[in-house]
Amino acid sequence: MSGRKPDTELVHGGRRREWRGRLVNPPVHRASTILFDSVAELRAAAPEFGTPYYGLHGTPTTWALAEALTELEPGAAGTMLYSTGLAAVTAALLTVLAPGEELLVTDTVYGPTRRFCEGFLRRFGVATRYYDPMVGGRIQDLIGDRTRAILLESPGSNTMEVQDVPAICAAARARGVATLLDNTWATPLFFPAIEKGVDLSILAATKYVGGHADVMLGSVTANAAWYPKLERVSWDLGHGVSPDDAWLGARGLRTMAVRLRQHEASALKVADWLKGRPEVARVLHPALPDCPGHEHWKRDFNGASGLFSFVFRGGDDAARCRFIDGLELFGIGWSWGGYESLAVPNDPQPLRSVTRWEAEGPLVRLHIGLEDADDLIADLEAGLRRYASGT
Ligand SMILES: *Cc1c(COP(=O)(O)O)cnc(C)c1O
């Protein structure tokens, strides 16, 4: 780390002269075969970050993105890239776990991650136990002889509980247990995970890194204790990423700081407005004081991104669908982190096993895009009228 501020790292990270020549952006380098000058050179070569060896192990396009992500995380040793965020999650878990071991997972984890734990990891011989996202330092009571890793996600999927990441990581480290954080919501700009004690920091780069809803990508950034094994396991699993996708990811990354700040401001404006509406029982946004774990957000985060949820005061799914279906500026679809606004219905209880979700009515998750916030509020206001009127 050079001590430069994160916004500067975003602009300059990974743009080595040897990778970009005289261009501003490192171009798309496509390769499977890398040619050597002699048998002796071929025999002497080995896969290594930044050295051409074979397509799987990267080209200047993928190294540039990986290095830029590493430079965003003080304390990081390196970054591996994946074709999706989910592939990043599963590769990170397979890096730290072996058959016979146990994994602790936050109860508000991303749904497909839970499915991987219940299906693949179970068959692989790894048992998963879920914990209350608000457990904090009491996680130490859950760590058993076979516990090898703890997966965190903060804030939690859909219901936005902010975890006490430093306390959980300190308890884990004292027992030699690895910690992994799905940091997709905050990105390293708003939560420098490795600095806070996390061993492996995971991003669905599909979201804010890409930023334009047109690329699937994942990344895992690791500290020095875990990076060599992460690299080994990822290559053993055959994980590589297309240079076109890496190029799109790098292109998105350069503007991530300004985009995130606008997502933050607009989402806060919309969240505050929703909070004052009689049709809304609760707004689940880490920057609002009544969000579970708000004090951790205030202490540990540098900002809030554009994704949050709210709960209606009463009403049923039909009313929720009337609200969502008629929105003009909000798309209906999975994923988030692009420049556009989205609205989806979510029902948290089926995705939990050790905590209960009690709510006054149905829940809607919003992603606030880069549209004018007042236009978004007008759209939502019309939606609340549809919700309340029954038509
Ligand atoms: C979207 C998402 C993922 C998975 O990313 P994909 O690129 O869609 O596979 C993982 N974790 C969280 C928190 C996400 O929101």
Gap from CA of 88 to ligand 1 centroid (Å): 9
Q: Rounded distance, CA 56 to CA 62, Å? A: 10
Q: What local confidence, expressed as pLDDT, does residue 4 receive?
A: 87
Gap from CA of 263 to ligand 1 centroid (Å): 18
Which of the listed residues 83, 153, 206 should we mutate to test ligand 1's pocket, taking the one with most ligand atoms within 8 A of CB? 206
Gap from CA of 184 to ligand 1 centroid (Å): 7
Gap from CA of 20 to ligand 1 centroid (Å): 30
Write down all domains in the chain, each with its CATH number in brackets.
6-254 (3.40.640.10), 257-389 (3.90.1150.10)
Gap from CA of 85 to ligand 1 centroid (Å): 5
pLDDT in tens, 53-99: 999 999 999 999 999 999 999 999 999 999 999 999 999 999 999 99
Q: What local confidence, expressed as pLDDT, does residue 1 receive?
A: 47
CA distances from 137 to 143, 163, 170, 191, 223 (A): 11, 10, 8, 19, 22
Protein residue with its CA nearest to atom 14 in ligand 1: 204
Gap from CA of 86 to ligand 1 centroid (Å): 6
**Ligand 1 atom with the shortest distance to the CA of 153:** 13
CA distances from 45 to 35, 39, 56, 199, 255 (A): 11, 10, 14, 30, 36
Q: Rounded distance, CA 301 to CA 299, Å? A: 6
**Ligand 1 atom with the shortest distance to the CA of 217:** 7
pLDDT in tens, 144-190: 999 999 999 999 999 999 999 999 999 999 999 999 999 999 999 99
Gap from CA of 327 to ligand 1 centroid (Å): 24
DSSP-based three-state secondary structure for 289? coil
Which of the listed residues 86, 160, 214, 216 should we mutate to test ligand 1's pocket, taking the one with most ligand atoms within 8 A of CB? 86
**Nearest CA among 152, 180, 154 for reference residue 88:** 180
Q: Tell how strand 307-312 and strand 280-284 pair up.
A: antiparallel
Gap from CA of 156 to ligand 1 centroid (Å): 12
**Ligand 1 atom with the shortest distance to the CA of 335:** 1
In the predicted model, residues of the chain with pLDDT beneath 70 are 1-2, 391
**Ligand 1 atom with the shortest distance to the CA of 157:** 13
Q: CB within 6 Å of ligand 1 — which residues?
A: 84-86, 89, 110, 153, 157, 182, 184, 204, 206-207, 216, 218, 335
Protein residue with its CA nearest to atom 6 in ligand 1: 85
Provide the Cα torsion 328, 331, 308, 212; round to 10°. -120
Which of the listed residues 117, 154, 184, 190 should we mutate to test ligand 1's pocket, taking the one with most ligand atoms within 8 A of CB? 184
CB 321 within 8 A of CB 271: no
